[in-house]
């Protein structure tokens, strides 16, 4: 990925990545280490062998951050905290595990308390486009969502409410206690070394896996959830990392969209993956499956105003890298957990 202006830390400061064993967190830990940071603490509830990337140069800690005492230990001597930790997944998961998703509010609440006590310089919270009001996402040709469209509040039940509440917690910790917080609303992040099966995968990885399985098995058909005309935008992991670090260092005191503004249907997403795979599949539409909102897209006016930048990795480029990696996991020599 492109070189990013480094975050401002002292020589002996620690950068904490909560959720460091997850997809985005693992890539963030890797990028920080490759950028020269020597004190990176990755914290995740999963055992180390389940981390998507477990890098020995980092301080890798297995801990449940729903517990305040663990958050205090995680934030010890920290200058920057990136809170990416949450119990979440794709639409199939969040529609059927609302209580589990809501419990993630404990992570952000206790991490904010611990960060304040540790006098952390900057605190980042990864929110989601699921905070947006459902009645603004009823058309496939959706008007791109502006940050103010989160109110009046009517977010995705469970997961969306947790994210919106946690955004407010960040705001009030800034107002009441002077903790500098930054909030980005991620829109559908994808890329290699992510979840591609098991029920928590999101659309790009799920569809890449289904295409690989169809190609390898010789059964040239694919199940698509819904009618395939629902729309989304998808952001490649490199753009997510770059945007996150830029947001942390800029004076952006309000939640901000971080996502691609290119709107595509699920059918168009399948078209792209089929071209990458060199195959054409029969499509079976499961209208009873979880589908989420009809359309969702990111209005990037605010991020362009603040940063003079927006996510730009072409969907075709990001999907090719993602497909090739998933192909290796399904049909080649799996290395799902990248432990170095």
Q: Residue ranges of the domains in the chain?
A: 15-191+235-261+298-313
Residue 88 pLDDT? 63
Percentage of the chain beyond pLDDT 70 is 91
What does residue 228 show for φ and ψ, rounded to 5 degrees?
80, -5
Statement: residue 230 has pLDDT above 50: yes
* Mean pLDDT, range 50-67, rounded to an integer: 97
Active site residue 159: yes
Write out pLDDT tens, residues 69-78: 999 999 999 9
15-191+235-261+298-313 to CATH, choices 3.40.50.720, 1.10.10.10, 3.30.450.40, 3.30.950.10: 3.40.50.720
* Mean pLDDT, range 277-286, rounded to an integer: 97
Parallel, antiparallel, or unpaired: how do β-strands 122-128 and 78-83 relate? parallel
Element (H, E) at 40: strand 40-44
Statement: residue 54 has pLDDT above 80: yes
* Mean pLDDT, range 320-332, rounded to an integer: 94
Distances, alpha carbon 246 to alpha carbons 28, 220, 250, 251, 256, in Å: 13, 43, 6, 10, 12
Write out pLDDT tens, residues 231-251: 999 999 999 999 999 999 999
Please state the three-class secondary structure of 209-246 as a single string: HHHHHHHHHCCCEEEEECCCCCEECCEEHHHHHHHHHH
Write out pLDDT tens, residues 3-17: 444 566 655 689 999
Residue in 123, 132, 159, 190 annotated catalytic: 159
Residue 338 pLDDT? 43
Residue 291 pLDDT? 80
């Amino acid at each position: 990925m492109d070189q990013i202006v480094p975050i401002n830390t002292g020589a002996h400061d620690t950068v904490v990545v909560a959720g460091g064993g997850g997809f985005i967190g693992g890539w963030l830990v890797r990028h920080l280490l490759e950028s020269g940071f020597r004190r990176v603490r990755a914290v995740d509830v999963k055992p180390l062998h389940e981390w998507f990337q477990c890098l020995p140069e980092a301080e890798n800690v297995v801990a449940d951050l729903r517990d305040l005492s663990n958050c205090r230990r995680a934030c010890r001597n920290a200058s920057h905290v990136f809170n990416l930790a949450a119990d979440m997944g794709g639409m199939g998961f969040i529609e059927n595990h609302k209580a589990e998703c809501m419990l993630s509010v404990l992570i952000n609440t206790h991490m904010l308390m611990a960060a304040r006590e540790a006098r952390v310089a900057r605190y980042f919270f990864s929110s989601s486009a699921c905070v947006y009001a459902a009645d603004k996402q009823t058309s496939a040709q959706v008007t791109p969502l502006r940050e103010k469209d989160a109110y009046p509040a009517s977010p995705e039940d469970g997961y969306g409410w947790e994210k919106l509440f946690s955004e407010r917690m960040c705001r009030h910790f800034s107002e009441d206690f002077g903790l500098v917080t930054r909030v980005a609303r991620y829109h559908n992040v994808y890329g290699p070394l992510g979840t591609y099966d098991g029920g928590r995968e999101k659309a790009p990885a799920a569809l890449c896996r289904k295409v690989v399985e169809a190609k390898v098995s010789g059964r040239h058909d694919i199940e698509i959830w819904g009618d395939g005309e629902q729309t989304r935008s998808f952001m490649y992991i490199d753009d997510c990392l770059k945007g996150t670090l830029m947001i942390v260092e800029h004076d952006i005191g309000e939640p901000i969209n971080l996502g691609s503004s290119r709107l595509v249907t699920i059918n168009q997403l399948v078209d792209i993956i089929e071209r990458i795979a060199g195959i054409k599949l029969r499509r079976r539409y499961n209208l009873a499956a979880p589908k989420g909102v009809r359309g969702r897209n990111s209005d990037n006016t605010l991020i362009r105003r603040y940063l003079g930048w927006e996510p730009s990795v072409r969907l075709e480029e990001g999907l090719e890298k993602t497909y090739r990696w998933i192909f290796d996991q399904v049909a080649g020599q799996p290395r799902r957990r990248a432990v170095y």
